[in-house]
Amino acid sequence: MSEETTQEILLLKLGEVVLKGLNRNVFEDKLTANVSRHIKPYGRFQVYTKQSTIYVEPRNEECDMDRAYRACLQVFGVAAIARALPCAKDVDAITETAKRYLKDEFAAAKSFKVESRRADKQFPMTSIQLSQAVGGNLADAFPGVAVDVHNPDLTVHVEIRERAAYVHGPATEGAGGLPVGTGGKAMSLLSGGIDSPVSSWMMARRGVWLEMVHFQSPPYTSPQALEKVLSLAKLLTPWCGQLIIHVVPFTEIQEEIRRNCPEDYFTLIMRRFMMRLAQAVAQKAGARALVTGESLGQVASQTMMALGVTEDVTDMPVLRPLIGMDKSEIVKISRKIGTFETSILPYEDCCTVFTPRHPCTKPFVSDVRDAEKALDVDALVEKALSGVENIRIKGDGTIVRKPARTEE
């Protein structure tokens, strides 16, 4: 073994990607690129794919392996991650590496077993033979730790691969899903609540590259409400990559709805305007679908008939990853991805402005269309689009604002 291969490395196990057919290399290349981008701030690494595994090897001792490891946990497409130590492909080298590399794990365990995988079929021993040989040596080295092949405290993994043998403890579950960028581009409607960050995360997990649209209604919504939304987007960037948030002025539309439309249709007509505007922003950005955080029956505007009314104004696919989930399931994911505490900050978004006392839960599209005739829909949409502010959040969390276009 050369000196360069004695440093700890990361082994990233592929998930769904391995099920792909002739285009599997497209998914693997995108995943490798995403991994490289995530770990770039933490040093110089060599990243490559072999035998359904991505290898992340430090090129020098200055690499921050702890932070690179944590970054890889947020890369969609990775099923599991193991920190491993390479060594020569022989029983003695493997034994010595396990004794040294996993000594703390052995100190804490009462029982262990060895599991071997022989990806290099030129290796002279079978996987079972290798496990028995290494396990016997480790049993002698750690006499206070019993061998238990059924329910051990510690499993020592040995992988015989093309370039080396790799020794590691149990792998950590990865983010799963598909690599961001393989599922097309979509525009996600991002509010300041619990649901929309979760729905965005779930679509990114399916490989979708996202941009965001947010509706702002000053003075009914505060500057802190927008900062809250930007904080949510910032929390999503480690998973999704850099994000663009298109902030759409929505005050005039809501005031016109209040002045001219039946109260029980306020929320439905508001949602229809959001869909129109989101579609226009999406088309300009090259996105091919909209993403919402709607869950069937959660509120009056999310009944089956109400969803049909809001979807009536768009011809883009509307992706609703939360549609069959209850609130507790959504909150659980929100806590997992780190957005929950920000989502519950007491800065309300425009969805709470002019909320009807008795919203219609079983609306008919024809009735809502008739109610909208009191509005100059095209003019309102055009004016709102002229005031869109684009805010970019880079992968490192830096916020870059591009002011809205103003009229002379």
Residues 99 and 148 in one domain: yes
Q: CATH number of the domain that 38 lies in?
A: 3.30.2130.30
Q: What is the per-residue pLDDT across 172-208, written as a single tens digit (0 to 9) for each?
A: 999 999 999 999 999 999 999 999 999 999 999 999 9
CA distance 338 to 376: 41
Domain end point (choices 142, 173, 204): 173
H or E segment and range at residue 46:
strand 45-50
Q: Flag whether 112 is in a domain.
A: yes
User: For the chain, how many structural domains are there in total?
Assistant: 2
CA distance 198 to 342: 12
Q: Flag whether 407 is in a domain.
A: no
Q: What is the per-residue pLDDT across 5-38, written as a single tens digit (0 to 9) for each?
A: 478 999 999 999 999 989 999 999 999 999 999 9
* Residue 97: domain span: 3-173
- What angle, 0 to 180 degrees and rounded to 10, lies between the N-to-C axes of helices 91-101 and 127-141? 50
Residues 255 and 350 in one domain: yes
Residues 158 and 234 in one domain: no
Q: Closest Cα partner for 109 from 164, 148, 140? A: 148
Q: What is the per-residue pLDDT across 294-308, written as a single tens digit (0 to 9) for each?
A: 999 999 889 999 999
Residues 252 and 391 in one domain: yes
Beta bridge partners of 159: 117, 166
Report pLDDT for 4: 40
CA distance 306 to 291: 17
- Please give the C-alpha separations between residue 342 and each of 88, 203, 232, in angstroms, as whole numbers: 49, 20, 7
Report pLDDT for 402: 72
- Planar angle of CA 182, 71, 391, nearest 5 degrees: 65
Q: What is the per-residue pLDDT across 28-81, written as a single tens digit (0 to 9) for each?
A: 999 999 999 999 999 999 999 988 899 999 999 999 999 999 999 999 999 999
Q: Residue 174 in contact with residue 205, Cβ under 8 Å? A: no
Report pLDDT for 355: 83
- Planar angle of CA 349, 351, 353, nearest 5 degrees: 85
Which of left, alpha, beta for 288 (phi over 0: left; psi -120 to 50: alpha)? alpha
Q: Flag whether 180 is in a domain.
A: no
Which of the 8 DSSP states describes residue 356?
A: -
* pLDDT at residue 214 tops 80: yes
Report pLDDT for 252: 96
Q: Residue 189 in contact with residue 318, Cβ under 8 Å? A: no
Q: Residue 40 in contact with residue 25, Cβ under 8 Å? A: no
φ, ψ for residue 133 (rounded to 5)? -65, -50
> What does the block give as tokens for 86?
């390479």
Q: What is the per-residue pLDDT across 97-142, written as a single tens digit (0 to 9) for each?
A: 999 999 999 999 999 999 999 999 999 999 999 999 999 999 999 9
Q: Residue 167 in contact with residue 97, Cβ under 8 Å? A: yes
What SS3 class is residue 320? coil
Q: Residue 311 in contact with residue 283, Cβ under 8 Å? A: no
pLDDT (mean) for 227-243: 96
**E-only strand ranges, 335-385:** none
Q: Flag whether 179 is in a domain.
A: no
Residues 163 and 213 in one domain: no
* Residues comprising the chain, all counted: 408
Q: What is the mean pLDDT of the chain?
A: 94
> What does the block give as tokens for 352?
């709470």
Report pLDDT for 405: 52
Domain end point (choices 123, 149, 173): 173
Beta bridge partners of 213: 189, 246
Q: CATH number of the domain that 212 lies in?
A: 3.40.50.620
Residues 247 and 380 in one domain: yes
CA distance 62 to 46: 14
Residues 312 and 389 in one domain: yes
Confidence at 220, pLDDT banded by 50, 70, 90: very high
* pLDDT at residue 353 tops 90: no
Report pLDDT for 41: 94
Q: Flag whether 408 is in a domain.
A: no
Residues 199 and 98 in one domain: no
